[in-house]
Each structure stands twice: as C-alpha cells, then as structure tokens.
Structure 1
Amino acid sequence: MTPGFQHLIRLSDDTGLFEHARRAVVRRQHGYCTDDVARGLVVISREPDPTPELTRLAECYLAFLTHAQDRTGAFRNRLGFDRRWHDRAGIGDWWGRAMWGLGTAAARGCAPWIREEALHAFALGAERRSPHPRAMAFAGLGAAEILRTTSDSTMAAALLTDAAQAVGTPPEDPGWPWPQPYLTYANAALAEVLIAAGDLSGDRSLLGTGLHMLTWLSDIQTRDGRLSAVPAAGWRQGAPRQRYDQQPIEVAALADACAVAARVTGDPAWHEGVRRAAAWFLGANDAGARMWDPDTGGAYDGLTEDGPNLNQGAESTIALISTMQQAGELG
C-alpha cells in the first residue's frame, strides 16, 4: 500500500486541519494551526491531478490562511475548535509557512480562483519581513514557487533575495559549513532556499554555497547507508549528538531539498537523498521501524529509542505525503 491523503482528510473539517491526533483519532481540543494548514496546502497544490475532495480541501485550507491573515500581511497561528483565535497576528515561522503554502498554491493550484486568491494573499504577506531566518527561508520557498512560473515577479524575487540574505552564508570551516552554530528543525530548508535563490537569480556562487551546505547536511545524517536525522533536540557544534527523538519534518525537508538540487543541477546523484528519506518511513532508520500506519495512511509523530511515537498528527502525516511525492517523481 502506498501512503496517500486519507489521514489528511480524516484530520480535516470544514474549518481547517487539526494539529494533533491520539493514534489516528483527532484531538479536537488542540484545535488548528496556520503552520499545518499551510503545509497541507503545499502538498495538495503539488498534486498534478487532484480529486474533487482534495480540491475542496485546498479551498478550505486557503480560506483558513486568508482568514488568519491581517491587513498588514501578518498571520495568526492558533485557532481553537470554538473558532476563536488564541494569539495575535505575527511574522514567526507560521508567517513563513503560510507564505510557502500561498506561493505554492499561486503557482500550482488546481483551479484559477485558487491561484488568484493565493497570489493576492501572498502579495500582501510579501510586504513583511521576519527577523527569524527559518521563517524567511520558508517564505522564500513560496517565492521560488512563484518565480518558477512567473519569472518577472519583482515581489517574489525581492522576497527570495531577502530570504537568502537572512539565512546567511557559512564560515570557512570544513567541519561545520553551516551559517549557524547549531542545527534545529527543518534544517535542509535553509540550504534549499539558497539553492533556489542562486538558481533563479543566476548567482552561481550562492547556488554553490547552498549545494555545499546540503551535501554536508546529507552526509552527517547518513549512517550505514540509511538516514539518521538530527533529532528534535537539535545539535550544537562541538556537543554530543543525540540519536532520538527523530522527527518526520526533518526527513521531508531533506527530501525536498535533494529533489530541488537534482532538478537544478541535473545530477541524479541527489536522488539518493530522496530515496533515503522515503526509506526512513518504510523502516530504513536507526530503530528499523516502519514510521507510518498502512491502515490509516498516517505517519507516526517521532522515532524514539523505544520505537515510533504512535500518534499520527498533521505535521508528521504531511511530511510523509511530501516525501512520497518527491520519491514518486523519480519514477
């Protein structure tokens, strides 16, 4: 059985996408978040021939994001099951992910009204800049999606340029060629946005920096030929590295970045990174455990020393879908 969208559909209602589940059952008391709705919009927008049910979900997720956005282009993040917002609009990581979702929908959305509304919301959000490098990286990935279909978008080009600058360049340290002295989460997104910015602007130096970062990140996360992802606790330069708790979001970020590197360079060697990421979900990981449930289609929330965390939340399930989309494109 191949993972599909069945669990994402299970986690969704007419408002949005629930964040958490106990095993496969929705935990409504935890509500919805812009982060996950944006991720959901990314993977649905990538589908070349979505079903009517997925199109309905794309419309639902887009409506959620436009409702979360205020007049300045910032976004609220947490909505309760009672449909009351629990925070004020801001420009943290959720702003960046919302921009990624909107940019992907604007470029690849299955219906013209989805593309048009997503572009409108993206343009409003593109007036803002976040002080957080990861938020800027996520937003930059949305800008890159638009530039791949509309190369003369000055708005998207400016955001992508600023995203690359926010990520920065690594020091000349062969032991740690990374722009920060630590790795945290979705690390490969930082390399991916430099690769995209270098490619789309014709800056070969920037492209080379992104590829070098991704090569190093991929190498340090490979153990005995399998993917051994940086755990949720992160890893600081010079400190011991823990093996667990590995998260699906890290696996999906690596698959995305390697897939982009392969398309940009034409080098099929990058496909191996995508394959290792897909294999991680199928059991080629440090615990030898399958990281998704064939009965539900959901991905497990983390790989612990004792095996999978059997809860199947939105972030993990979207990471599974995203990784398998990239692997599926390899043929």
Structure 2
Amino acid sequence: MNDTITISYEHMFRLSDDCGIFEHAKLTEPRTENGYCVDDVARALVVAVREPEPDAQLLAVTQVYLDFIVDALSTDGRLHNRRGTDRTWQDEPTLEDHWGRALWALGSVVARRPDLAEAVLVHFTTGARRRSQWPRAMAFAALGAAEVLHAYPGNECARELLASASALIGPPTRKLHWRWPEPRLDYANAVLAEAILVAGAALGEDRTHADGLVMLRWLLEVETSGDHLSVTPVDGWSTGELRPGFDQQPIEVATLADACARAYDHTGDQRWLDAVRLCEAWFRGVNDVETPLLDPVSGGCCDGLEPTGRNENQGAESTLALISTQQQARRLQRAL
C-alpha cells in the first residue's frame, strides 16, 4: 500500500451533473446518451457519505444522488433503475440489485449524516419492508440495514431485513473445496459473505458470523494468486475452469475490499488488513497482467482488466469501485 493514499473525486464529478451520475464513458468523457441508473447513483452516494472531510462540491453531489434515489422509490417500496437524459424513468419499479444498492445507500446516509437521518430513514423503511428473491439484492440491502442499526439499534425493520437476507443467502457448504452457498461464483461475490457477517454480528448469532468468515476466507484464497489478486471474471467461475479469467471487473475487487475491511473491524485479524491492501494494490497494477487501472491524470478507473491490458473507458461503476477501495484502505491505514 502507498504510504499516503490520496483519493480523487475529480472523475466522479466529471461524470455527474445536477441529476445524477452518468453510467458510461468513452475514455474519460461521459456518454450522456446512455443516461443514468440507480445502481451507480447508489454506489456514488455510498462513497460520497463515507468521505470524512467532504468539501462543498462533494456535499452538493451528495444531495443530487440522494434526490435521485428518493425519486426512484415508489410508494410500495420498489424502485425504478434506468433514467434517460430527459429525466424520465425508462422502466417499471422492481426489487432487483438496484433496490438493494439503494437501501445500502439510504442506510449509509442515515448512519453518517445525522442532519438527514430521520427524513431518510422514512424512505429506507419504505423500501426495507419489501423482500427480493435475489441473494445479492438482499445482501446489498442488508448492508444498509446494518448501517441503520448503527444509528438506531432498536430498529426492528432493519433487524428483520437482516434476518431475511441471512436466510436467503444461507450458509456455506461443508465441502472443503467449495465453502460457498452457491454452485458457482458470479459477480460482486464478497457482498454475500459481508451480509452474513453483518447479520451475525447485529443479530447476535455467533454461528452465522462464523459462517461469514468461512465464506470470506475461502473466497479470498480462491481469488488470490501468489502475491496478488486474481479475481473472478465477468462470466463467473467454478472448480475446474481455467485461471486467471478475464475480463476482471473493479466491482469484484471493491466488494472484496469492503468485506475484508469489515472482517478486520470485527476480528482485528491481520490477514484481513493485508487483503484490503491487496485490493488497493490491484488497481495500481499488482494484478494478473501487471497493468494499473487507476488513471492518475483523470482520477478515474478503467473499466476492466483484460488478457492484454485494460479497457480504457472509465465508467461510473469502475471509478466508484476504485474510490470505495481506496476509502477502506485509507481508513484502516489511519487507524493503525
């Protein structure tokens, strides 16, 4: 890890306007014609409220992102995801991943912005009464519920959501070669382990918490090659398939950094701190093709690691994954 981790929000600001954050970019320029999505606006809101020393510009976009999510929320708790440049919603409200990420973001505001907490808790509660059939959607929602419980320890809606997420994700198998609740690794895998960790901790279920650590320990081993990360590619992975796989996505590394930082907070075990450092180093080129994805000029992150280099486009998901990982690495570094 660098001695000093400097986080740039420049590219995040470049991709943002007074409505939200544009999903895609051509190199460093936003592809405005592709519009916005709650998935990325929620990610942006999480990293915005995580910053302990926000400047005026960051505070301004925080409000933009929050307004976007509140506008996407329907009265029955489902959310729109896709929004066009004409500011109209282009889909029907659902309970897919963007719903979970929105609850994560709203919960993060509740926990980290006391001035907004009570008003935003109302919106969180509207969404948190619903349940998704998708484990990752529920896992992201669980992270938001854990944030709410940090600010309001007696909040039953958040506790019930955590319990539902834990039940849907389930425990890892007892097979030593596959300590995971799914038959195949997919995307943003570590969020499942982190959700089990937070559920176990918040609900006082030691066995559940231990299951989360087992899952995360196994995933970290699978996604490590020698002295660097070699993460699950975009098409997923199962036993017997070739490694390394491509294209590797920054979001996979960011979710791993979040989960390992959480595990370190819970246990103080050095292995988790070392893992967060591996995640931060992956963006700087300590990876399968020794290619940095961090662009020090733009402040952005390239969209994927490929067999011969990187995808040069710098969209919102990738840049926010970089910032999120740097935030965790910097936070733990400062705590030492």
TM superposition score category, shorter chain reference = over 0.9
Aligned to 2:109: 105
User: Is 1:79–2:101 an aligned residue pair?
Assistant: no
Deviation at 1:242, TM superposition (A): 5.0
Per-residue deviation, 1:48 = 1.3
The one-letter amino acid paired with 1:169 is P
Q: Secondary structure at the match of 1:124?
A: helix
Q: Tell me the distance in 1 between the aligned counterparts of 2:118 and 2:173.
A: 41
SS in 1 for 2:62: helix
Q: Give the equivalent residue in structure 1 for 2:99.
A: 95
**Pairing partner for 2:192 from 190, 193, 213:** 190
Is the CA contact 1:103–1:119 (under 8 Å) kept in the aligned structure 2?
Answer: yes
Q: Which amino acid aligns with 2:147?
A: E
Matched, 1:65 2:65: no
The CA deviation string for residues 203-233 of structure 1, in whole angstroms up to 9 with x for no partner, is: 1100110000000000111101101111011
- Please show how residues 189-208 of structure 1 align to structure 2 within 5 Å: 189-208=191-210
Contact 2:20 2:68 in 1 (8 A): yes
The count of residues paired between Structure 1 and Structure 2 equals 329
Q: What RMSD in Å do the two structures reach over aligned CA positions?
A: 1.2
Matching residue within 30, 35, 38 for 2:39: 35
Any idea what the Cα deviations from partners look like across 1:91-111, whole Å, max 9, x if unmatched?
A: 0001000011111111112x6
Contact 1:3 1:320 in 2 (8 A): no
Give the alignment of 1:304-319 within 5 angstroms. Answer: 304-319=306-321
Alignment-derived partner of residue 147 in structure 1: 149
1:231 aligned residue: 233
User: Which residue matches 2:270?
Assistant: 268
Name the aligned partner's letter for residue 73 of structure 2: Q
Please give the residue correspondences for 1:20-59 in structure 2 after superposition, counting only pairs within 5 Å.
Answer: 20-59=24-63
SS state of the match for residue 236, structure 1? coil
1:119 CA drift (Å): 1.3
Amino acid at match of 1:203: E
One-letter amino acid of the structure 2 residue matched with residue 13 of structure 1: D
Report whether the alignment pairs 1:281 with 2:280: no
**Greater mean alpha carbon deviation, residues 26-35 or residues 146-155:** 146-155
**Map of 2:20 onto structure 1:** 16
Counterpart contact for 2:172–2:181, Cα < 8 Å: yes
Give the structure 2 partner of residue 251 of structure 1.
253
Structure 2 SS opposite 1:235: coil
Amino acid at match of 1:102: L
CA deviations 1:262-283 (Å, max 9, x no partner) are 0011223210110000000011
CA distance in 2, matches of 1:4, 1:143: 28
Task: Give 1:238 shift.
Answer: 4.3
Q: Distance in 1 between matches of 2:270 and 2:147?
A: 22
How far the C-alpha of 1:55 sits from its partner, in A, is 0.9
Q: Distance in 2 between matches of 1:108 and 1:149?
A: 8
Moved over 4 A (4+): none
Q: 1:330 & 1:273 partners in 2: Cα distance?
A: 11
Offset at residue 140 of structure 1 (A)? 0.3
Worse-matched range after superposition: 145-154 or 318-327: 145-154
**1:34 offset after TM fit, Å?**
0.3
Unaligned stretches of 5+ in structure 1? Answer: none
Give the TM-score of the pair, scaled to structure 1. Answer: 0.97
Tell me, yes or no, if the aligned pair for 2:230 and 2:244 is still in contact at 8 Å: no
